[in-house]
């Protein structure tokens, strides 16, 4: 089925790079409007023939995945900003990019006509879309649900006899995930994250607020994970990884949405005595276990006790990071975390705009400023060992929900159910400039630039091609000369306030 979809997509290349249908709201750029009859797609964009380069550009002025193929040069542009690549210095291997299949995502996608639903999922997962390959699944409810719930809300059911998936899984998560798998021409890696255990397993008896897992529940909660993996795999959704707790220190802060508090020491002891051995006994040590799953202001302190304990570290594959403190905490903490155990990867597992405001500003339709800010930190994280970036909700409504805790947020796609249409935010294209071109297995290569308002990350593709992602944060256009020491130069002009991916 997947190969048939790929063939159809390739045959449909006449429709590749369809133009954005722009609509201006009150912010500094446009959204691209999609409905049941039309949606812009980047199309199949391949590496050009030797002696040429392809530049794909999006900008505040309205370009969206604009494609140009031009000849390379044998000389550097003497007046250009220098971008120097060291292809011999490969660093981390990339895992991928994607988003989360929350209840809110499913509710919003299902609110559209069937044809529009298909176009929305194609935008993310089909070969002509932006190639998402790494997706998060909340284990039961989260704030981006219409209610707090778990998979076993029967008080005292320590044997988990009443454990079961819910209507949210069967209506909003599983069908969309299966469709995404059908649309994709590559493997999609899925990982699960819990927000809260059943409330009766916690010290405060609540899904939210300040509370920890009761120590006598450490083993039942471990077995709960096994049931989740088994249940999803029985539905045809293989799991690639897990995080043991979403934002574990938030459970000590009386948060208004689903949470559970874990100290680093308790997390270490639970992993090595309960969760790790339980997953291993169930044949699930194949799953990638990523600890922390919180902002980088917790690093490296939170993961250090776990990684320095060999009995715990044997069950850990990587560190999961959230974006929300990146503006305030140096990226050097990522380097320090990587140095604790260079064999374990770093992966950004949650991020979104609009988290730090209330009311109508949660969603800013057409905001290039938000896209630029996002792209800046994505590129920064790549340059400090992150192996990918997983955005939060794949789709939200015009308010930034639904969200039972009224924690409204922005998203890459906003759904207007009343009009039967959806809007691709500039954020969508900001992620797409990496997700479509920086494929799993690509290696980041050392890169420098002479311009402070130019962010750059470069990658060596598995087939030997070079991918250079450039973000011009300047209000003026920039001439850039890319030099990798091979005797060829890519001399190109970046529009003001633009994001560009160069392939050669």
Answer for the pair 165, 98: CB distance below 8 angstroms, yes or no.
Answer: no
pLDDT for 200 equals 98
Quick one: tokens of 112?
A: 């559209």
Orientation of helix 174-183 relative to helix 2-11, angle to 10°: 60
DSSP result, 209-238:
SS-BB-GGGHHHHHHHHHHHHHHHHHTT--
pLDDT for 47 equals 97
Give SS3 for 207.
coil
Answer for the pair 100, 177: CB distance below 8 angstroms, yes or no.
Answer: no
Q: Could you tell me which residues come within 8 angstroms of residue 167 by beta carbon, excluding any fewer than 6 positions away?
A: none
Quick one: tokens of 57?
A: 């550009």
From the first residue on, what is the mean pLDDT of each consecutive set of 10 residues in the chain (504 residues)? 35 55 97 98 96 98 97 95 95 98 98 98 98 98 98 98 98 98 98 98 97 98 98 98 98 94 98 98 98 98 98 98 98 98 98 94 98 98 98 98 97 98 98 98 97 97 96 97 95 97 98
Active site residue 247: yes
Quick one: tokens of 300?
A: 């490296």
Catalytic entry in 350, 358, 380, 418: 350
Answer for the pair 348, 390: CB distance below 8 angstroms, yes or no.
Answer: yes
Catalytic entry in 247, 265, 358, 419: 247
Homologous superfamily of the 94-441 domain (CATH): Glycosidases (3.20.20.80)
Q: How many CB atoms are located within 10 Å of the residue 51 CB? A: 9
Answer for the pair 285, 278: CB distance below 8 angstroms, yes or no.
Answer: no
174: left (phi over 0), alpha (psi -120 to 50) or beta: alpha
pLDDT for 358 equals 85
What DSSP designation does 118 have? H
pLDDT for 18 equals 81
Give SS3 for 180.
helix
Orientation of helix 103-110 relative to helix 114-125, angle to 10°: 130
pLDDT for 17 equals 65
Active site residue 76: no
Nearest to 181 by CA among 393, 437, 1: 1
pLDDT for 426 equals 98
DSSP H stretches of helix in 272-367: 276-281, 304-307, 310-313, 332-340
Q: How many CB atoms are located within 10 Å of the residue 49 CB? A: 9
115-148: b (≥16 Cβ within 10 Å) or e: ebbbbbbbbbbbbbbbbbbbbbbbbbbbbbbeeb
Quick one: tokens of 181?
A: 């798998």
Give SS3 for 424.
strand
Answer for the pair 491, 78: CB distance below 8 angstroms, yes or no.
Answer: no
Quick one: tokens of 225?
A: 């994970």
Delimit the domains of the chain by residue range: 94-441
Nearest to 111 by CA among 403, 392, 416: 416
d(CA 7, CA 22): 29
């Amino acid at each position: 089925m997947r190969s048939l979809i790929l063939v159809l997509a390739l045959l449909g290349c006449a429709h590749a790079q369809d133009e954005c249908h722009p609509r201006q709201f009150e912010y500094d750029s446009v959204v691209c409007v999609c409905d049941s009859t039309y949606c812009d797609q980047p199309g199949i964009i391949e590496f050009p023939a030797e002696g040429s380069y392809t530049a794909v550009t999006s900008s505040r002025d309205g370009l969206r995945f604009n494609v140009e193929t031009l000849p390379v040069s044998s000389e550097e542009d003497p007046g250009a900003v220098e971008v120097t690549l060291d292809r011999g210095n490969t660093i981390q291997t990339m895992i991928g990019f994607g988003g989360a299949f929350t209840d809110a995502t499913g509710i919003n996608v299902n609110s559209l006509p069937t044809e529009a639903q298909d176009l929305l999922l194609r935008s993310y997962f089909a070969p002509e879309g932006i190639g998402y390959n790494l997706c998060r699944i909340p284990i039961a409810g989260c704030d981006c649900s219409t209610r707090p719930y778990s998979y076993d809300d029967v008080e005292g059911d320590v044997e988990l006899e009443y454990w079961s998936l819910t209507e949210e899984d069967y209506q909003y998560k599983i069908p969309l995930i299966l469709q995404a798998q059908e649309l994709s021409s590559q493997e999609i890696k899925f990982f699960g994250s819990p927000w809260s255990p059943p409330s009766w397993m916690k010290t405060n008896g609540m899904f939210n607020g300040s509370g920890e897992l009761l120590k006598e529940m450490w083993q039942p909660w471990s077995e709960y994970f096994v049931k989740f993996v088994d249940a999803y795999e029985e539905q045809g959704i293989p799991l690639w990884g897990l995080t043991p707790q979403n934002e574990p220190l938030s459970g000590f802060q009386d948060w208004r949405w689903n949470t559970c508090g874990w100290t680093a020491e308790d997390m270490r002891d639970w992993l090595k005595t309960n969760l790790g051995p339980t997953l291993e006994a169930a044949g699930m040590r194949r799953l990638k276990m990523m600890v922390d799953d919180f902002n980088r202001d917790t690093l490296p302190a939170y993961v250090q006790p776990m990684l320095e304990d060999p009995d715990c570290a044997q069950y850990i594959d990587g560190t999961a990071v959230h974006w929300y403190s990146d503006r305030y905490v140096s990226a050097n903490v990522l380097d320090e975390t990587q140095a604790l155990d260079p064999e374990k990867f770093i992966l950004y597992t949650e991020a979104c705009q609009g988290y730090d405001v209330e009311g109508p500003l949660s969603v800013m339709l057409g905001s290039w400023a938000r896209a630029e800010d996002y792209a800046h930190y994505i590129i920064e994280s790549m340059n400090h060992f992150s192996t990918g970036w997983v955005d939060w909700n794949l789709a939200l409504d015009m308010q930034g929900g639904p969200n039972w805790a009224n924690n409204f947020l922005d998203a890459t796609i906003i759904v207007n159910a009343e009009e039967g249409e959806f809007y691709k935010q500039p954020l969508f294209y900001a992620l797409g400039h990496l997700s479509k071109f920086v494929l799993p297995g690509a290696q980041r290569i050392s890169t420098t630039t002479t311009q402070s308002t130019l962010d750059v990350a470069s990658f060596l593709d598995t087939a030997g091609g070079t991918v250079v992602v450039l973000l011009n944060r300047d209000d003026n256009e920039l001439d850039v000369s890319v030099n990798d020491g091979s005797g060829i130069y890519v001399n190109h002009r970046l529009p003001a306030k633009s994001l560009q991916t160069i392939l050669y």
